[in-house]
Structure 1
Amino acid sequence: MQPLYHVLILTPTNFSAAMPTSTSVLDWVLSSNGRVASDHGGCALSLLPADDDVVLVLPPRLVSWHRVALPKVASARVRAALDGMLEDRLLDDPAELHLALEPGSRPGQTLWVAACNKAWLQAWLQTLEAAGRPATRIVPALWPTSAVGSEHGETVHWAHDEGNRVWLSTASPLGVRSIPLRENGSSTYGATSRLGADSSFGPASTFGDSSFGSLGSSTGRGPEYTLTAASDPATTSWFADPSITGLAEQVCNQRFDLMPTADWLLRCAQSDWNLAQFDLRLSSGARRTQRMRQGWRHFASAAPWKPARWALVALVLTVLGGVNAMAWKERSALQAKQQAIRQTLQSTFPEVGLVLDAPVQMQRELTRLQQASGTLSAQDLEGMLAFIAATEPGASLSSIDFLSGEARLGIGGLPDDRLLALQQAMASRGWQVSSDSGMLNVQAKAP
Structure 2
Amino acid sequence: MSTLVLHLPLARNGGATEYRYTLSADGHQATRHGTAAASTLPAVGRASEIVALVPVRALSWQRVTLPPGVGPNSPRLRNVLEGLLEDRLLDDPAQLHFALEPGARPGASAWVAVCDRAWLRDALQALEAAGRPVARVVPELAPGATDAVLVLGTCPEDALLAATPGPDQGVVLLPLAAASMALTGLDADPPPPLVAEPAVAALAEQALGRSAQLQTEHERALLAARSPWDLAQMDLASSGRTRTLRKAGSLAGQLLRAPQWRAARWGAAVLLLAHLAGLNAWAWQERQMLAAKKAAAHNALTQTFPQVKVVVDAPLQMERELAQLRQAAGGLAPRDLEVLLAAAAQALPAQAQPSAIDFGAGELRLKGLNLTETDLADAQARARATSHQLRLEDGTLIVREQAQ
For the 8 Å contact 2:152–2:196, the answer to whether it is kept is yes
2:149 to 147, 155, 158: 155
Q: CA deviation at 1:139?
A: 0.3
Show the counterpart of 1:236. Answer: 194
Show the counterpart of 1:377. Answer: 333
- Normalised to the residue count of structure 2, the TM-score between the two structures is 0.68
1:173 to 149, 156, 164: 164
- Normalised to the residue count of structure 1, the TM-score between the two structures is 0.62
Distance in 1, Cα, partners of 2:33 & 2:387? 72
1:29 to 18, 23, 29: 23
Distance in 2, Cα, partners of 1:336 & 1:406? 35
Secondary structure of the 1:342 match is helix
For the 8 Å contact 2:135–2:246, the answer to whether it is kept is no
Equivalenced residue count is 380
**Structure 2 counterpart of 1:172, one-letter code:** A
1:410 to 355, 367, 373: 367
Percent sequence identity over aligned pairs: 34
For the 8 Å contact 1:159–1:168, the answer to whether it is kept is yes
Distance in 2, Cα, partners of 1:345 & 1:37? 73
Measured at CA, do residues 436 and 64 of structure 1 come closer, stay the same or move farther in structure 2, by a change above 3 Å?
closer
Distance in 2, Cα, partners of 1:107 & 1:406? 78
Q: CA deviation at 1:235?
A: 0.7
For the 8 Å contact 1:7–1:51, the answer to whether it is kept is yes
Measured at CA, do residues 260 and 277 of structure 1 come closer, stay the same or move farther in structure 2, by a change above 3 Å?
closer
1:436 to 373, 393, 399: 393
Q: CA deviation at 1:335?
A: 3.9
Q: CA deviation at 1:97?
A: 0.7
**Structure 1 counterpart of 2:362, one-letter code:** G
Measured at CA, do residues 157 and 86 of structure 1 come closer, stay the same or move farther in structure 2, by a change above 3 Å?
same
For the 8 Å contact 2:22–2:30, the answer to whether it is kept is no
Distance in 1, Cα, partners of 2:125 & 2:217? 28
Measured at CA, do residues 132 and 403 of structure 1 come closer, stay the same or move farther in structure 2, by a change above 3 Å?
farther
Q: CA deviation at 1:115?
A: 1.7
1:51-70 aligned within 5 A: 51=47, 54-61=50-57, 63-66=58-61, 68=63, 70=64
1:11 to 6, 9, 13: 6
For the 8 Å contact 1:96–1:118, the answer to whether it is kept is yes
Secondary structure of the 2:300 match is helix
Show the counterpart of 2:221. Answer: 265
Show the counterpart of 2:209. Answer: none
Measured at CA, do residues 397 and 313 of structure 1 come closer, stay the same or move farther in structure 2, by a change above 3 Å?
same
Measured at CA, do residues 114 and 389 of structure 1 come closer, stay the same or move farther in structure 2, by a change above 3 Å?
closer
Q: Find out whether 1:359 has 2:358 as its counterpart.
A: no
For the 8 Å contact 2:50–2:136, the answer to whether it is kept is yes
Distance in 2, Cα, partners of 1:404 & 1:71? 87
For the 8 Å contact 2:65–2:110, the answer to whether it is kept is no
1:335-346 aligned within 5 A: 335-346=291-302
2:45 to 49, 53, 76: 49
More helix by share: 2
What is the alpha-carbon root mean square deviation over aligned residues?
A: 5.2
